[in-house]
Amino acid sequence: MCVCVRACKLTGMLVDHLCKADLSIVNTTDPAFIAWRTAMFTLSKCTKTYMKLSGCLSELPDSIKNQSAEEIFAAIFPWLAVVLAAFGPSRIMFGSDWPVCTVGVNDGAWEKWRKVVARMCDMASLTLEEQEMIWSGTARKAYNLDE
């Protein structure tokens, strides 16, 4: 077991912004996407590692940022699918990234991002309990807010 996994099991870790994935990549066979995907599955082996779904709007290429939530979802689906497969709903939390999410995005950035995450939940056929984890339950667990 690597040192980072042992340290993670003791302290826990939160990964923001999909670990700064390069959302301009359009081919999932690109070495950069493969390296990111490998890193996500490696990080997910640490049971106290959580992923925050945030920061994606500001990381998108300008040509995509102001498209509809459906078009943004389609563009970043490969990254969302990896995160969901690697971490599962019990270790993923919604993050609005407000007000940074509004930079370079037309009106309604927060609502657009919420719709993207809701679409991910629908596409994955998540149960109501799993969706609750993403919207708030994982954050309560990761930050020990229920104690």
Q: What is the pLDDT of residues 34-93, one digit of tens each?
A: 999 999 999 999 889 999 998 888 888 888 988 999 999 999 999 999 999 999 999 999
Question: What does pTM read for this prediction?
Answer: 0.88
Compute CA distances 4 → 12, 19, 27, 87, whole Å.
10, 16, 30, 17
Q: Which two tokens stand for residue 69?
A: 């939530």
Taking 50 as the threshold, does the pLDDT of residue 142 lie above it?
Answer: yes
Q: In a 10 Å sphere around its CB, with 0-12 CB exposed, 13-18 middle and 19+ buried, how is residue 57 labelled? A: buried
Domains located in the chain, CATH noted: 28-142 (3.20.20.140)
